[in-house]
Amino acid sequence: MITIVGAGLAGSEAAWQIASLGIDVTLYEMRPQRATAVHKTADCAELVCSNSFRGDKLDNAVGLLKEEMRRLGSLIMRVADGCRVPAGAALAVDRERFSRSVTDALTSHPRITIVRDEVTTIPASSRLAPVILATGPLTSDALAADLLRLVGGGHLAFYDAISPIVLAESIDRSKVFRASRWDRSLRGAGSRTVGRDAPGNGTICGADDSAGDYLNCPFTREEYERFYEALTHAESATVHDFDREKFFEGCLPLEVMAHRGVDTLRFGPMKPVGLVNPATGCEAYAIVQLRQDDLAGDHYSLVGFQTQLKWGEQSRVLRMIPGLEQAEFVRFGMVHRNTYVNGPRVLDDTWQVRVRPSLFLAGQMSGVEGYVESAASGLLAGLNAAALTSDRPVISPPRTTAIGALAYYVSHANPAHYDPTNITFGIMAPLEKPPRGKQQRGVAHSERALVALDEWISERRRAWTEATAPS
Ligand SMILES: Cc1cc2nc3c(=O)[nH]c(=O)nc-3n(C[C@H](O)[C@H](O)[C@H](O)COP(=O)(O)OP(=O)(O)OC[C@H]3O[C@@H](n4cnc5c(N)ncnc54)[C@H](O)[C@@H]3O)c2cc1C
């Protein structure tokens, strides 16, 4: 018997996968007894915000992830496809029908028992009775405190301060320069160290480039004043209740810092000291630093630029940064309540907790971002919990697949600077001969991934059949 806590996107998918393998599941869900700040119903897999599962074509990574999940027998994908509403190239659903249909599928499955109760401590687990925690970004306080005891201080976050990310090819390289503060590169040269002043903690990986780890966008005084004016007059997003909590000083939204004074940013995330612009031979009046954000170097995040501005306002104001005039945003910034572990310190690529392998984490709390990614991690955690209890191999698909890449990122990214991630082609194993166009690259990734996944599915089926065949 397997216990799952949390019937959100991840927990519901995990329960379905396990029950489909003929194993009994008890699924705990605290709603409606206990509410969260954002859920509105008692249904399983409620979509708390948008009704979109994002792109559904194979030239984008989330489209690929969805196709992989379909091939793995995903309940979430099957129901989403059945509740589709018109949304162009995206998969959007009728949210009420979607959650009700997932709930119906789970409640009518003979192997699944749903218990409506809050779980306040991590249930005991063993190889024969694994546990999956999938309580999401708004995990209740008592359970979050117990998880903190298990994983240790510093490895569990309660807030997410997300900086915007831009597409590398949309940065105007003629205006930015590559350098690390005080010429201290995080890569290459062994004698160099990370300066105390260095913002953030570098990249996950990437080509050695001793010219520095950051792309720097230099401002003149006039450019800075124009930017400051626009920032302090821009409109913030509507906040949820939980966002009214006090912010930590270490992750203040950009606009909150700006309102403290005209020079606050120049002594904070826009500090220019130690960064000499080779074009002028001088330090700029202010700087915005861009840090490589994915394995392939396709994405750059704006260091220290967590913000709650409305997305339209972000694209308007941030395009005033020299070099970002034509920037294409891969993700906008936000600050919100989010309980998640530092995946690389806590998890294996099988979604097992390293210090307690009979315990699995899945969904947003495991360090992924997004509905589809949460459900995908639940799918793999479910398959692996079932494998563990049946004495079969606990494995993950290869990193050439989207679902395998997600598992790899969560367990192998740089733990010193861990951010939950959406699926992107940038976290997948690089292509040997990447086509030139972005769309063609995406399609090439997808073609390779689906072949690899089909092989993985066949091998896994063979391993399961052999393990059950009479000797
Ligand atoms: C405000 C907000 C908006 C978001 N908007 C989007 C969006 O538009 N698009 C997108 O792709 N992603 C969005 N996300 C991110 C993420 O994809 C969703 O939060 C997603 O629902 C995560 O899935 P999950 O299964 O990990 O958690 P959830 O879907 O939240 O499921 C966790 C479940 O666990 C239950 N639970 C919690 N604690 C306990 C306990 N102690 N005992 C028993 N049950 C418990 C909860 O009631 C809940 O049902 C948003 C997140 C937040 C916080």
What is the pLDDT, as a whole number, of residue 134?
98
Contact 306, 333 (CB under 8 A): yes
Overall average pLDDT of the 15-20 stretch: 98
- Residue to mutate, 16, 40, 49, 311, ligand 1, most ligand atoms under 8 Å from C-beta: 49
CA of 381 to the centre of ligand 1 (A): 17
Is residue 290 within 8 Å of residue 166, measured between CB atoms? yes
Residues lining ligand 1, Cβ inside 6 A: 5-11, 28-31, 36, 38-39, 48-50, 118-119, 134-140, 143, 240, 336, 363-365, 370-371, 374
How high is the pLDDT of residue 90?
85
Q: Which atom of ligand 1 is nearest to the CA of 119?
A: 42
pLDDT at 119: 98
Query: How many percent of the chain have pLDDT more than 70?
Result: 89
What is the per-residue pLDDT for 183?
74
User: How far does the centroid of ligand 1 lie from the alpha carbon of residue 240, in Å?
Assistant: 14
* Cα–Cα separations (whole angstroms), residue 450 to 63, 283, 372, 427, 453: 12, 49, 17, 16, 5
Distance CA 352, CA 195 (A): 35
pLDDT at residue number 295:
58
Superfamily of domain 2-159+338-468: FAD/NAD(P)-binding domain (3.50.50.60)
What pLDDT does residue 206 have?
27
**Residue having the nearest C-alpha atom to atom 16 of ligand 1:** 370
Query: In the chain, which segments carry CATH 3.50.50.60?
Result: 2-159+338-468
As a whole number, the mean pLDDT across the chain is 87
Q: What confidence tens digit (pLDDT) does each residue in 326-375 have?
A: 999 988 887 777 889 999 999 999 999 999 999 999 999 999 989 999 99
Q: What is the pLDDT of residue 28?
A: 98
Rounded to the nearest angstrom, the distance between the alpha carbon of 291 and the centre of ligand 1 is: 28
Whole-number pLDDT of residue 86: 83
DSSP assignment letter at 48: -
Considering just the CA atoms, what is the radius of gyration of the chain in Å?
A: 23
Q: Which two tokens stand for residue 406?
A: 């997600």
The model's confidence at residue 410, banded by pLDDT at 50, 70 and 90, is very high
pLDDT tens track for 247-272:
445 567 899 899 999 999 999 999 99
Rounded CA-CA distance 147/135 in Å is: 11
pLDDT, one tens digit per residue, over 42-85 is 999 999 877 889 999 999 999 999 999 999 999 999 999 999 88
Q: Which residue type is seen at 22?
A: G
Strand partners for 115: 28
Instruction: Give me the DSSP letters along 178-219.
Output: EE-GGG--SSS-TT----TT--S---SS----TT-SEEEEEE
Relative to the CA of 117, which ligand 1 atom is closest? 43
φ, ψ dihedrals at 455, nearest 5°: -65, -45
Mean pLDDT of 206-217: 63
Q: What is the pLDDT of residue 256?
A: 86
Q: Tokens 């018109």: give the residue.
A: 86
Cβ proximity of 338 and 364 under 8 Å: yes
HSE-CB for 183 with a 13 A CA cutoff: 5
pLDDT at 335: 75
Q: What is the pLDDT of residue 197?
A: 26
Task: Pick 10 or 162 by higher pLDDT.
Answer: 10
- For residue 137, report the distance from its CA to the centre of ligand 1, in Å: 5
Q: Whose CA is nearest to atom 38 of ligand 1?
A: 139
Residue-wise pLDDT tens digits, 278-316: 999 999 999 999 988 765 678 888 988 989 899 999 999
pLDDT per residue over 106-116, tens digit each? 999 999 999 99
**Mean predicted confidence (pLDDT) in 170-177:** 96
What is the pTM assigned to this prediction? 0.75
The alpha carbon of 430 and the centre of ligand 1 are apart by a number of angstroms equal to 31
Query: What is the pLDDT averaged over residues 428-442?
Result: 93
CB 330 within 8 A of CB 62: no
Query: 219-241, pLDDT tens digit by residue?
Result: 999 999 999 999 999 988 754 44
Which atom of ligand 1 is the closest one to the Cα of 53? Answer: 11
